[in-house]
């Protein structure tokens, strides 16, 4: 009888022929691109040992994994709280910046309105003042020239009509007979009076500009004051938030450190149990079967081996792939004076750490 056994995700195909000559097994480990072991093993069923180890593993690692989960949740909560506080800080600082900018805008508007007054109407007042002063000076000079009197103005008296009147009156001492000093002094006093009246009018206009400037300032002042008070409140909230975030960041750092420690403990537990798992098959080995480099194996004359009577047996194969140990463990029949052919597909291998889950 000839039996074909496909180990993997495919269904087993069975064919048979009867031979009077011998009982034997032939097979092929159909795994590519990895280095195969030198031998495979006929073993007793050690699945019960794996189950017992897995139960012990789950009992041992359960509290550790629960602790890790709790620490991850604490870390997530701390991260959420820190993120929320940072967002609050960002918004508060943004509001502070908006208020600072608004103060600058309001102050600029005030300055522009004040400048508009003084650079327009104020300049006109200055120009009018200078013009009237120059006209008055010209009238004194022309009058003195017409009278032929010595009228001179020093640089210190250049913008002082009162000094001009004094100088004019001094020039009238011992005048020629045709000049009436009293009349001329009266004329000078009248000119000075007119100038004083103009000065009052000019000053009144300036006072009006000052009043308008203060009026603009009175409109702007409360706005700026309110903004400054708002900034102070924002700065107080920013300070409180910064004080609040410091312990949260410390808590986050502690949780992160504790999580790393717990994960290291978990890793060591897994590592210890994986080592124990790898040892389990060694106590269950019945026979070693050589394996060629191309994955073929053969076991002949089982009919002459009293240790292997007809029945069902387990074959165990261990390989290394992707940095892990992978096993294939399956049962197969040994029938008297029959050939059993086994093809071990890649799908039959599983990473051994999955056996602990």
Burial of 7 (0-12, 13-18, 19+ CB in 10 A): buried
Helices assigned H by DSSP within the chain: 47-116, 123-147, 161-171, 181-279
Query: Is the sign of the CA dihedral 53, 58, 60, 61 positive or negative?
Result: positive
Q: What is the pLDDT of residue 152?
A: 82
The secondary structure of residue 122, as a DSSP letter, is I
CB atoms within 10 A of CB 60: 13
Q: What angle do CA 215, 216, 217 make, to 5 degrees?
A: 90
Query: Quick one: what percent of the chain has pLDDT higher than 70?
Result: 93
> Distance between CA 357 and CA 346 in Å, rounded?
21
> Distance between CA 272 and CA 266 in Å, rounded?
10
Contact of 181 with 204, CB cutoff 8 Å? no
The secondary structure of residue 346, as a DSSP letter, is G
pTM of the complete model:
0.59
Residue found by looking up tokens 């708002």 in the block: 230
Contact of 227 with 106, CB cutoff 8 Å? yes
Computed over every residue of the chain, the mean pLDDT equals 88
DSSP secondary structure, 253-265, as one string: HHHHHHHHHHHHH
CA-atom Rg of the chain in angstroms: 55
> Distance between CA 164 and CA 168 in Å, rounded?
6
Where residue 318 falls (left for φ over 0; alpha for ψ -120 to 50; beta otherwise) is: beta
> Distance between CA 339 and CA 302 in Å, rounded?
10
> Distance between CA 355 and CA 357 in Å, rounded?
6
CATH class of 2-45+284-356: mainly beta
Q: What is the pLDDT of residue 4?
A: 41
Q: What is the pLDDT of residue 7?
A: 53
Contact of 175 with 149, CB cutoff 8 Å? yes
Q: What angle do CA 143, 145, 150 make, to 5 degrees?
A: 105
Nearest Cα to Cα of residue 339 among 308, 287, 301: 301
Residue found by looking up tokens 């104020």 in the block: 122
Q: What is the pLDDT of residue 223?
A: 85
Nearest Cα to Cα of residue 196 among 230, 228, 165, 229: 165
> Distance between CA 352 and CA 319 in Å, rounded?
10
Pairing assessment for the beta strands 24-29 and 296-299 based on DSSP bridges? antiparallel
The secondary structure of residue 175, as a DSSP letter, is -
Q: Which residues of the chain have pLDDT under 50?
A: 1-4, 6, 8-18, 20
């Amino acid at each position: 009888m000839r039996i074909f056994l496909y180990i993997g995700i495919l269904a087993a195909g069975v064919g048979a022929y009867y031979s009077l000559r011998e009982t034997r097994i032939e097979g092929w480990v159909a795994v590519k691109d990895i280095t195969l072991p030198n031998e495979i093993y006929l073993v007793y069923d050690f699945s019960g040992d794996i189950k017992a180890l897995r139960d012990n593993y789950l009992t041992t690692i359960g509290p550790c994994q629960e602790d890790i989960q709790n620490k991850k949740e604490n870390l997530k909560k701390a991260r959420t709280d820190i993120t929320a506080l940072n967002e609050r800080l960002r918004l508060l600082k943004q509001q502070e910046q908006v208020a600072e900018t608004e103060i600058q805008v309001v102050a600029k508007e005030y300055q522009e309105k004040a400048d508009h007054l003084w650079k327009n109407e104020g300049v006109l007042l200055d120009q009018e003042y200078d013009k009237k002063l120059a006209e008055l000076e010209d009238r004194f000079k022309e009058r003195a020239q017409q009278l032929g009197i010595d009228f001179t103005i020093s640089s210190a008296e250049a913008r002082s009509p009162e000094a001009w009147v004094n100088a004019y009156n001094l020039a009238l001492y011992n005048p020629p007979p045709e000049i009436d000093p009293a009349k001329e002094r009266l004329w000078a006093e009248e000119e000075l009076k007119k100038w004083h009246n103009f000065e009052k009018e000019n000053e009144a206009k300036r006072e009006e500009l000052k009043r308008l400037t203060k009026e603009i300032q009175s409109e702007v002042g409360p706005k700026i004051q309110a903004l400054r008070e708002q900034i102070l409140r924002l700065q107080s909230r920013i300070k409180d938030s910064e004080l609040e975030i410091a312990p949260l960041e410390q808590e986050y750092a502690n949780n992160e450190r504790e999580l790393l420690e717990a994960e290291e403990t978990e890793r060591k537990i897994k590592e210890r149990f994986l080592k124990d798992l790898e040892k389990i098959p060694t106590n269950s080995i019945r026979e070693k079967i050589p394996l060629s480099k191309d994955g073929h194996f053969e076991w002949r004359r089982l009919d002459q081996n009293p240790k292997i009577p007809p029945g069902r047996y387990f074959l165990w194969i261990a390989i290394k792939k992707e940095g892990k140990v992978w096993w294939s463990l399956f049962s197969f029949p040994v029938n008297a004076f029959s050939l059993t052919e086994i093809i071990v597909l890649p799908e039959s291998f599983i990473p051994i750490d999955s056996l602990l889950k």
